[in-house]
Structure 1
Amino acid sequence: MISILIAASIGLLVSILLTPYLIRVFSRQGFGQEIREEGPQGHRSKRGTPTMGGVAILIALVAGYFVAHVIDWMRGSPNGPTASGLIVLFLAVGLGIVGFLDDFIKIRKQRNLGLNKTAKLVGQLVVAVTFAVLVLQFPDANGLTPASQHLSYVRDLALIFLPLPVFIVFCYVVISGWSNAVNFTDGLDGLAGGASAMVMSTYVVISFWQARLSCQETPQAACYVVRDPLDLAVVAAAAAGACVGFLWWNAAPAKIFMGDTGSLALGGLVAGLSVTTRTELLAIVIGGLFMVEMLSVVAQIAVFRTTRRRLFRMAPFHHHFELAGWAETTVIIRFWLLAAICCMFGLGLFYSEQLAAAGA
């Protein structure tokens, strides 16, 4: 528990102290955000706001994780970084690098489009396939690997086994889906950062719960077969702290944007944690706001291509309400409330499944 608190505290401190430094550096270098011409008119004033603030989130995440382990080691704890924690960190950093390249090209070419679709697809594909291969390696003393080839809700669904090629494709779809979902959500000041902090905090609770209910101390039906759940809680705590620290500067009116550097990395964290905690299906509920934002884009494109009409005034979904006359801060706060409801509902489902399993 102490390592979780340390990771969250270090993530918060590094992020909240590093971000203003990045604001000054990026402002001097002219690393300003380009705004979509067809976007809401109120967003034109945001042009030139420093972007790539996701760098602070990534540095704070990595610092929080490793400082927590260093302090644990100094306290005499035998536990160190685990395969599960390091692989999830790899996924976040790898996607963050793809996002950084995307942001950097936008800035250099002064346009709202960075990497072309093929380059971005290849970047996400390389990181996702590498993650999918690594996450099935490194068995512990009990032969348990960081991930399972079974599809999972809270525990593995025994009837649905994914052969290795299918599992790799599945991981790519999950990683690409979540990274793009968070990326679509990152359109208003603090919206993605606040929602991500809630999702990461939810995974702290879930992972800690899984660690407490190990199969050595719990009846088989009610235990969680997850490798390194406590270390995954440390990763999630560092990420939650990093998001809150960044949100201090990213809240409306934002002094810096996270850019694709941050949104792709945070989406990767959601995907990585869902796979390693065996909650791929439950994550759809926990990250419900991100799912709605992504589906709004898909629905908008599908309806427009088939009927030549727009389902929403503008996609992603949050822009629809802006164009309907809602103030930006109103949209942000109400969407934060939706994110909180999704997280609480996801925790409720997790707990109710545990009660059902214990009763069985």
Structure 2
Amino acid sequence: MTQIIIAGVVSFLVAIFTTPLLIRWFSSAGKGQEIREDGPRSHLRKRGTPTMGGIAILAGIVVGYVVTGIYGITTGSGGFTVSGLLVLGLTLGMGLLGFLDDFIKLFKERNLGLNKTAKLVGQLVLALAFGLLILMFPDEEGLTPGSTNLSFIRDIDTLDIAVGGGIIGIVIFLIFMYILVSAWSNAVNLTDGLDGLAAGATALVMGSYTVITFWQFRNSCNVDVEPGCYSVRDPLDLAVLAAAGLGAALGFLWWNAAPAKIFMGDTGSLALGGMVAGLSVTTRTELLMVVIGALFVIEAASVVIQVAAFKSTGKRVFRMAPFHHHFENGGWAETTVVIRFWLIAAMAALAGSAIFYGEWLSTTGVLLQ
């Protein structure tokens, strides 16, 4: 528990004190966000607001995780693990992809950064590398950071994604990994459209996963094989990483809350989406993440529905997509949309956590008094 607290506090402090430095630097350099002309008219006032605040989020996550790892090594309570490093690597890789996109838009003075093909290729490379690596590095019990089984609260043995095994099975698994990583990174990216919305929602998801991974650590099959134990490699290190993500998101939210002094940009949204995807795989909760991160799912689904409806019928289902703009264009104040969407995210995180804990109770035979 000490390591989790250290990770959260350090990442929060790094993010909250690094963000204003970025605000001053980008403001003095005259580099700010361009606003979509077809977006809500109220957003035009945001033109020129500094962006790329995701740098502070990544700094908070990295410093929080590294400091905690060093503390664990020096105290003999554990240090860096392959699971944590792989998820961190995916997070940083997605952050770098977003950084390139933001850099091109800001410093090359273009309205668009990386084109869709470049983004998809970057996500493909990162997803393939992550997918291959999580099947390697077995521990002394033979447990790898990830598995080819689809998972809900734990691996579903009857649903092996790598159907048939062999090269074909691995290819199918890697395709699944690409879909999962690109879906979550794009979902968080689409949610990042209002002041504080993505940062607050991500903090709630990371808070839920801090609890889940700590519970997996306390009830690990590596410690004691008993009903309800979890076959997850390195759950404590994943809890540390989730806590670092929570602290960094909250530290950045201090400056990103309405009226935002800075935006996270693709640097932050793609990185956080990568962390969400990585945690879902390494904790064996890929389907549970759909519940916990339901707000991200809703936002992404609204875009898919809007595009599909317009291309097939020529009509729009929503006033504007992603979903949060639908309510803005309906007359809701931006802060009203954000707070109500935070409530949705909080209820989803609580529901997912309750499902997780309820499954443990039913598996162990523990009855609530």
- TM-score past 0.5 threshold: yes
1:170 paired with 2:205, answer: no
Superposed CA RMSD in Å reads: 1.2
Residue 283 of structure 2 corresponds to residue 277 of structure 1 = yes
* TM-fit CA distance, 1:104: 1.0
Higher mean displacement: 65-74 or 44-53: 65-74
Residue of structure 2 in register with 1:161 after alignment: 160
For the 8 Å contact 1:3–1:68, the answer to whether it is kept is yes
What's the secondary structure of 1:170's corresponding residue?
helix
Inter-partner Cα distance in structure 2 for 1:110 and 1:38: 19
Q: 1:250 aligns with which of 244, 253, 256?
A: 256
Distance 2:190 2:108 in 1: 21
Residue 332 of structure 1 deviates from its aligned partner by 0.3
In the TM superposition, 1:259-274 aligns within 5 A as 259-274=265-280
Partner of 1:29 in structure 2? Answer: 29
Partner of 1:89: 88
Give the equivalent residue in structure 1 for 2:244: 238
1:194 correspondence with 2:196: no
Q: Match for 2:39: what amino acid?
A: G
What is the CA–CA distance in structure 2 between the aligned matches of 1:322 and 1:219, rounded to whole Å? Answer: 52
Q: Structure 1's 307 and 8: CA in aligned 2 closer, same or farther, altered over 3 A?
A: same
SS at match of 1:222: coil
Q: Find the counterpart in structure 1 of residue 72 from structure 2.
A: 72
Give yes or no for contact 1:286–1:345 (8 Å, CA) kept in 2: yes
Q: Which runs of 5+ in 1 are unaligned?
A: none
The Cα shift of 1:358 comes to 1.1
Deviation of residue 166 (structure 1)? 1.4
> Is the CA contact (8 Å cut-off) linking 1:34 and 1:111 kept in structure 2?
no
Mapped contact 2:141–2:222 kept (Cα < 8 A): no
Letter in 2 for 1:142: E
For residues 2 and 153 of structure 2, what CA distance do their matches in structure 1 show? 25
Task: Say if 2:90 and 2:126, in contact at 8 Å, map to a contact too.
Answer: yes
Instruction: Name the amino acid aligned to 1:197.
Output: A
SS in structure 1 of the partner of residue 137 of structure 2? coil
Change (3 A) 1:142 1:168: same
* 2:9 partner SS: helix
Within 1, Cα distance between the matches of 2:317 and 2:18? Answer: 41
Q: Which piece of structure 1 moves more, 226-235 or 19-28?
A: 19-28
Matched, 1:46 2:52: no
Q: Secondary structure at the match of 1:178?
A: helix
Measured in 2, the distance between the counterparts of 1:4 and 1:107 equals 36
Distance (whole Å) between structure 2 residues aligned to residue 88 and residue 263 of structure 1 = 15
Cα displacement (A) at 1:352: 1.1
Q: Secondary structure of the equivalent of 1:312?
A: coil
Compute the displacement of 1:59 (Å).
0.8
Q: What is aligned with 1:342?
A: 348
Shift of 1:110: 3.5
Q: How does 1:280-299 map to 2 (within 5 A)?
A: 280-299=286-305
Contact 1:155 1:278 in 2 (8 A): yes
Letter in 1 for 2:205: V
2:332 aligned counterpart, secondary structure: coil
Cα gap change, 1:217/1:126 in structure 2, threshold over 3 Å: closer, same or farther? Answer: closer
Aligned to 2:3: 3
Contact 1:3 1:234 in 2 (8 A): yes
Deviation (angstroms), 1:114: 1.2
Specify the code of the residue in structure 2 equivalent to 1:159: T
- Is the Cα contact below 8 Å between 2:195 and 2:259 reproduced in 1? yes
**Offset at 1:28?**
1.8
Q: Distance in 1 between matches of 2:58 and 2:359?
A: 33
**Contact residue 52 and residue 99 of structure 2 kept, 8 A:** yes
User: 5 Å matches for 1:188-227?
Assistant: 188-216=194-222, 218=224, 220-227=226-233
- 1:51 and 1:216 mapped to 2: Cα distance? 44
Aligned residues: 359
Percent of residue pairs identical: 62
Structure 2 residue 319 is the aligned partner of structure 1 residue 313: yes
Q: CA deviation at 1:65?
A: 0.3
Provide TM-score, normalisation by structure 2: 0.95
1-structure distance, mates of 2:223, 2:68: 26
Give, as a single letter, the amino acid of the residue that structure 1 aligns with 2:364.
A
Distance 1:135-1:198 versus aligned 2 partners, 3 A rule: same
Question: How far apart are the structure 1 equivalents of 2:14 and 2:222?
Answer: 37
Give yes or no for contact 1:135–1:147 (8 Å, CA) kept in 2: yes
* CA distance in structure 1 between the aligned counterparts of 2:329 and 2:41, rounded to whole angstroms: 9
> What is the CA–CA distance in structure 1 between the aligned matches of 2:256 and 2:134, rounded to whole Å?
33
1:202-227 per-position Cα deviation (integer Å, ceiling 9, x unaligned): 00000000001112555544111000
SS in 1 for 2:42: helix
Q: Equivalents in 2 of 1:31, 1:62: separation in Å?
A: 25
| Residue type at the aligned position of 1:57 | I
Question: How far apart are residue 162 of structure 1 and its match?
Answer: 2.1
Q: Structure 1 residues 272 and 216 mapped into 2: Cα distance closer, same or farther (>3 Å)?
A: closer
What is the match of residue 152 of structure 1? 151
